[in-house]
A and B are shown apart, each in its own frame.
Chain A
Amino acid sequence: MITVRVNNISKKYSQNKTEVLALDKISFDVNQGELFAVIGPDGAGKTSLFRILTSLILAEEGIATVDGFDVITQYKEIRKRIGYMPGKFSLYQDLTVEENLNFFASIFHTSIEENYDLIKDIYDQIAPFKDRRAGKLSGGMKQKLALSCALIHRPSILFLDEPTTGVDAISRKEFWEMLKRLKQQGITILVSTPYMDEASLCDRVALLQKGKILSIDTPENIMSQFKNKLWAIKSEEMYPLLLALRSNAFIEQSYPFGEYHHVLTNNEKELALFAQNYNAELKIVDPTIEDCFIALMQNHVNL
Chain B
Amino acid sequence: MNILRYLLEKEFRQIFRDPSILRMIFIMPIIQLIILPQAANYEVKNVKIAIVDHDHSTYSTSMIYKITASGYFILTGINDSHLDAMELVERDHADIILEIPAHFEKDLVKESETEVLMSVNAINGMRANLGASYLSVILRDYNQDVRLKWVQLPRFDEVKRLNITSTNWYNPHMNYKLFMVPGILVILLTMVGAFLAALNIVKEKEIGTIEQINVTPIKKYHFILGKLIPFWMMGMFVLSLGLLVARVFYGIVPLGNIGLLYLFSGCYLIAVLGLGLLISTISQTQQQAMLLAFFLMMIFIMMSGLYTSIDSMPYWAQVVTWFNPVSYFIEVVRMIVLKGSTFRDIQFNLGIILIFAIVLNSWAVFSYKKRN
Q: Residues of A at under 8 Å CB distance from B?
A: 54-58, 75-76, 79-80, 82, 84, 86, 88-95, 99, 103-104, 106-109, 149
Contacts and interface: CB of A to CB of B under 8 A. Distances in A.
Contact of B215 (A82, A88, A106): A82
The main secondary structure of chain A at its interface with chain B is loop
B207 A93 contact: yes
Nearest to B222: A107
A86 B7 CA distance: 21
A76 B212 contact: no
B10 A94 contact: no
14 contacts: A56-B211, A58-B372, A76-B217, A79-B217, A84-B215, A89-B208, A90-B208, A94-B14, A94-B17, A99-B10, A99-B13, A103-B6, A106-B3, A107-B6
Give the residue among B7, B208, B215 with the most A Cβ atoms within 10 A. Answer: B215
A106 B7 CA distance: 9
A162 B115 CA distance: 88
A107 B215 CA distance: 11
A58 B372 CA distance: 6
Contacts of B6: 103, 106-107
A142 to B, nearest CB: 12
Interface string B195-236: 000000000000111011111111000000000000000000
A84 B372 CA distance: 17
A55 B370 CA distance: 9
Interface residues of B, number: 22
List of 3 A-B pairs having minimum Cβ-Cβ separation, nearest first? A90-B208, A106-B6, A84-B215
B218 A107 contact: yes
Given A58-B371, A79-B215, A106-B3, 6 more contacts: A54-B215, A56-B211, A57-B372, A91-B212, A95-B10, A106-B6
B33 to A, nearest CB: 29
A90 B207 contact: yes
A108 B371 CA distance: 19
Interface string B1-21: 011001100100110011000
A86 B213 CA distance: 12
B216 A107 contact: yes
Given A86-B208, A90-B207, A91-B212, A108 B14 contact: no
The main secondary structure of chain B at its interface with chain A is helix
Contacts of B215: 54-56, 79, 82, 84
B210 to A, nearest CB: 8
A287 to B, nearest CB: 39
Given A79-B217, A107-B6, A56 B371 contact: yes
A99 B11 CA distance: 12
Contacts of A88: 208
Contacts of B3: 106-107
Interface of B: 2-3, 6-7, 10, 13-14, 17-18, 207-209, 211-218, 371-372
Give the residue among A79, A84, A93, A107 with the most B Cβ atoms within 10 A. Answer: A107
A106 B10 CA distance: 11
Nearest to A135: B207
A86 B209 CA distance: 10
A90 B206 CA distance: 9
B12 to A, nearest CB: 11
Given A92-B14, A95-B13, A99-B13, A80 B217 contact: yes
B10 A104 contact: no
B216 A90 contact: no
B2 A109 contact: yes
B217 A108 contact: yes
Contact of A56 (B7, B209, B214, B218): B214
Nearest to B372: A57
Given A92-B14, A95-B10, A99-B13, A86 B212 contact: yes
Contacts of A94: 14, 17-18
A99 B14 CA distance: 11
A89 B213 CA distance: 13
Contacts of A54: 215
A58 B371 CA distance: 8
Nearest to B14: A94
A91 B209 contact: yes
Contacts of B17: 94
Contacts of A91: 209, 212
Contacts of A80: 217
B212 to A, nearest CB: 5
B371 A57 contact: yes
Nearest to A99: B13
B13 A104 contact: no
A95 B207 CA distance: 13
A158 to B, nearest CB: 12
